[in-house]
């Protein structure tokens, strides 16, 4: 079990993070670049000293700013950190890299069988004699991952490890890390600014911005019901339309606050149906200001009154006017907070 | 090199090096150069590492000190060394207490060679250490290595080619040191002093065999360092 409750000063703000990660649990710390996510990992790893707080791992206190002050050095923490740069030692062969920790830590016998097993599970058994310079990006990450597994770390910290790899390789490596972290039953924390990576990896998502954790929860719950407009923006909502404009259907807007002035509905581009389907969610009509191909479909910029949003459609929108249905959108009050916690009934909003 | 080889006959070389005591300057230079290298390794390697990792207080002052030793003419270094370690200084008094002297002794020769060669080693070693990615050192620490072990297993091997080249340059500078040496360590005679006195006493052609000897002694280490560095780099590339 990893327990973290720390505050660490950065030049521009103070990073405050509180998270408990059970053995075998996978948590993703998601947020924009510069949000303070890496600082949290570095505090856990002992590379940054927090201003206040506590870090515990498996019942051991690694950091405590309360008296008596505790600051276990990184080499005694048994915490594995995998960064975007896999950090292989260029002067050592793959085999020597994999077994590096075994010759550092007392009580570890020769890697032997385990080395062979892990190399096989990572698909790098043919590379043991090679030097890191000869490896591809994906192979380097596999070796770095194997090195952490052989080091028998008590926690796995992943700092955007696969960000520089292509999507397919990223998916396969994320699945591999997920499987191995479950097998090892160690708490794992992934830091990423890619929501898809966080969703693919984590049991629990923590959204972080400007040093603060804004929301924590199951990944789908956070995406479907962001706690605030800011969280909604971070998890991919591309616009907010007034929820009370030209309502032409009976609604229970008051129950969700949708009837109040200033309440807006969040538009997630992937949760939009073309056309008016009142039974499915909020119907919105607006003016198409731009449309462009996106993946297998189209992406359209739409203006509802003076509120812009972007949505993805299966085909190119016909004409300048567009009606779409927002599937079960979250509603936000004038203060930016989420209104209510249940799906609103069918409503519609149209541009003037 | 071509000039030296074409101007010296085997007979001249033989007669210059086979007389009684003819090899003494060579031995003196090799011994003092060896001691100088040991001093550089022991004292200047940690200094260069601390400079590379910003671990020194007032780092600009240290850098200025190293650079001034590099930029000052060796003759001036020799003059200043007289005021630092000469018999009438406090260092000279301490040395005298131990019945030692830093004027016209082997110790003085080593001091002069250290001052002439240290900047080359320190600046080269600093660059070599700066070239080692600190995230690799962090990674080694997280894998269980204490700081000194990290230095031994990661920092030193990665910086080694650069350190070897710096040490080779320092060796060449030390064994050929003349400017500071002529001021505080005229005796014991090293090869450069032998060349100088021979030139003054008997002329250019009789000094040439000693110049060739100096080159032959000074060059192998830099060449070996170059070859070793290149091999280490090739091995890293797989």
| Nearby residues of A304 by Cβ (< 8 Å), 6 or more positions away | A241, A242, A245, A284, A285, A286, A349, A350, A351
- Verdict on whether the full-model pTM lies above 0.90: no
Taking only the tens place, the pLDDT of each residue in A41-55 is: 999 999 999 999 999
- Over the stretch A124-139, which tens digit does the pLDDT of each residue have? 989 999 999 999 988 9
Q: Which chain A residue shows the shortest CA-CA distance from B161?
A: A91
> Mutating which of B139, B146, B153, B231 best tests the A interface, going by the most A Cβ atoms within 10 A?
B139
How high is the pLDDT of residue A349? 52
Mutation for B interface: A62, A75, A130, most B CBs within 10 A: A75
Q: How do residues A147-172 score in pLDDT, each as one tens digit?
A: 998 888 999 999 998 888 888 888 88
Q: What b/e sequence results for A314-325 when a residue is b if at least 16 CB atoms lie within 10 Å of its CB, and e otherwise? A: eeebeeeebbbb
| Tens digit of each residue's pLDDT, chain B (238 residues) | 788 888 888 887 887 778 778 889 999 999 999 999 999 999 999 999 999 999 999 999 999 999 999 999 999 999 999 999 998 999 999 999 999 999 999 999 999 999 999 999 999 999 999 999 999 999 999 999 999 999 999 999 999 999 999 999 999 999 999 999 999 999 888 999 999 999 999 888 888 888 888 988 888 988 999 999 999 888 888 7
Q: Do A91 and B149 touch (CB under 8 A)?
A: no
Residue A104: pLDDT band with limits 50, 70, 90? low
Facing B138 at nearest CB: one of A47, A89, A133:
A47
Nearest CB to A104; choose among B149, B232, B235: B149
Between A241 and A253, the higher pLDDT residue: A241
Residues of chain A contacting B143 with CB distance shorter than 8 Å: 75, 100-101, 104, 147, 151
The 10s digit of each residue's pLDDT in A318-336 is 888 999 999 999 999 988 8
A39: distance to nearest CA of chain B, Å? 15
**pLDDT at position A255:** 43
Q: Tokens in use for B229?
A: 């560095």
Chosen from A38, A48, A74, A80 to mutate, greatest number of chain B CBs within 10 A? A74
Q: Which of B144, B158, B232 sits opposite A75 (nearest CB)?
A: B144
A2-224: CATH, from 3.60.15.10, 2.40.160.20, 3.40.50.720, 3.40.50.300: 3.40.50.300
How far off is chain B from A17, nearest CA to CA, in Å?
22
- Is the pLDDT at A62 greater than 90? The verdict is yes
The terminus-to-terminus CA distance of chain A in angstroms comes to: 55
A:B CB pairs within 8 Å: 64
The whole-number pLDDT of residue A341 equals 52
Confidence (pLDDT) at B104:
92
**What is the band of A248 on the pLDDT scale with cuts at 50, 70, 90?**
very low
- Asked if residue A213 has pLDDT above 90, the reply is yes
Q: Would you call A87 an interface residue with chain B, using a CB distance cutoff of 8 Å?
A: yes
pLDDT band at A245 (very low <50, low <70, confident <90, very high): low
The residues near A161 (Cβ < 8 Å, ≥ 6 apart) are A82, A83, A84, A86, A141, A144, A145, A173, A177, A190
Tell the CATH topology of B24-231. MetI-like fold (1.10.3720)
CA-nearest of A13, A51, A21, A44 to A159 is A44
Contact A133/B138, CB-based, under 8 Å? no
Q: Which residues of B touch A79 (CB under 8 A)?
A: 142
Q: Is B149 on the interface with A (CB under 8 A)?
A: yes
Indicate whether A256 pLDDT > 60.
no
B2 touches chain A (CB under 8 A): no
Give the span between the Cα atoms of A101 and A118, in whole angstroms: 14
| Domain boundaries of chain A, sorted by first residue | 2-224, 238-350
Span A54-82, average pLDDT: 94
**Dihedral sign from CA coordinates of A64, A70, A74, A77:** negative
Q: What is the mean pLDDT of chain A?
A: 87
pLDDT at A254: 43
pLDDT exceeds cutoff 90 at A36: yes
Query: Residues 101..140 of B with a Cβ closer than 8 Å to A: which?
Result: 133, 135-136, 138-140
What pLDDT is attached to residue A279? 81
């Amino acid at each position: 079990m990893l327990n973290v409750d720390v505050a660490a000063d950065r030049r521009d703000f103070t990073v405050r993070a509180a998270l408990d990660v059970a053995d075998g649990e996978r948590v993703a710390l998601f947020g924009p670049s510069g949000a303070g996510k890496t600082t949290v990992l570095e505090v856990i790893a002992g590379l940054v000293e927090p201003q206040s707080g506590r870090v515990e791992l498996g019942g051991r206190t690694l950091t405590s700013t309360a008296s008596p002050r505790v600051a276990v050095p990184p080499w005694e923490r048994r915490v594995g950190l995998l960064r975007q740069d896999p950090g292989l030692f260029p002067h050592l062969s793959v085999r020597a890299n994999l077994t590096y920790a075994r010759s550092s830590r007392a009580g570890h016998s020769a890697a032997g069988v385990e080395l062979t097993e892990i190399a096989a599970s990572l698909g790098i058994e043919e590379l043991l004699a090679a030097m890191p310079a000869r490896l591809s990006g994906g192979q380097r990450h596999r070796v770095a991952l194997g090195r952490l597994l052989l080091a028998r770390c008590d926690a796995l910290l992943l700092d955007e490890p696969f960000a520089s790899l292509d999507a397919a390789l990223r998916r396969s490596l994320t699945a591999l890390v997920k499987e191995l972290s479950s097998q090892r039953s160690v708490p794992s924390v992934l830091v990423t600014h890619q929501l898809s990576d966080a969703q693919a990896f984590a049991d629990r998502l923590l959204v972080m911005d400007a040093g603060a954790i804004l929301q924590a929860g199951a990944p789908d719950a956070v995406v479907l019901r962001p706690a605030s407009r800011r969280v909604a923006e971070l998890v991919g909502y591309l616009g907010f339309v007034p929820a009370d404009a030209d309502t032409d259907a009976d609604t229970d807007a008051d129950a969700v606050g949708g009837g109040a002035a200033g309440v807006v509905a969040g538009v997630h581009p992937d949760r939009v149906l073309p056309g008016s389907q009142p039974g499915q969610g909020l119907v919105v009509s607006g003016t198409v200001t731009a449309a462009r191909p996106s993946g297998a479909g189209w992406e359209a910029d739409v203006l509802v009154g003076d509120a812009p949003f972007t949505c993805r459609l299966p085909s190119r929108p016909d004409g300048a006017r567009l009606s779409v249905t927002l599937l079960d959108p979250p509603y936000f009050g004038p203060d930016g907070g989420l209104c209510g916690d249940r799906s609103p009934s069918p409503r519609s909003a149209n541009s003037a | 090199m071509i000039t030296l080889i074409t101007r010296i006959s085997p007979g001249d070389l033989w007669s210059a090096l086979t007389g009684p005591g003819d090899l003494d300057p060579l031995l003196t230079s090799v011994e003092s150069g060896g001691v100088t290298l040991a001093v550089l390794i022991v004292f200047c390697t940690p200094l260069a590492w601390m400079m590379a990792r910003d671990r020194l207080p007032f780092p600009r002052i240290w850098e200025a000190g190293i650079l001034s030793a590099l930029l000052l003419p060796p003759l001036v270094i020799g003059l200043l060394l007289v005021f630092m370690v000469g018999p009438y200084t406090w260092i000279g008094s301490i040395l005298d207490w131990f019945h030692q002297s830093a004027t016209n002794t082997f110790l003085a020769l080593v001091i002069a060679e250290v001052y002439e060669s240290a900047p080359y080693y320190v600046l080269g070693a600093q660059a070599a250490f700066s070239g080692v990615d600190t995230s690799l050192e962090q990674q080694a620490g997280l894998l269980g290595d204490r700081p000194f072990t990290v230095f031994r297993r990661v920092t030193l091997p990665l910086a080694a080619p650069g350190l070897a080249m710096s040490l080779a340059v320092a060796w060449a500078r030390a064994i050929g040191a003349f400017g500071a040496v002529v001021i505080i360590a005229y005796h014991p005679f090293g090869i450069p002093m032998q060349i100088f006195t021979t030139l003054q006493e008997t002329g250019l052609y009789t000094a040439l065999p000693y110049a060739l000897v100096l080159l032959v002694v000074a060059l192998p280490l830099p060449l070996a360092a170059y070859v070793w560095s290149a091999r280490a780099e090739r091995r890293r590339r797989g």
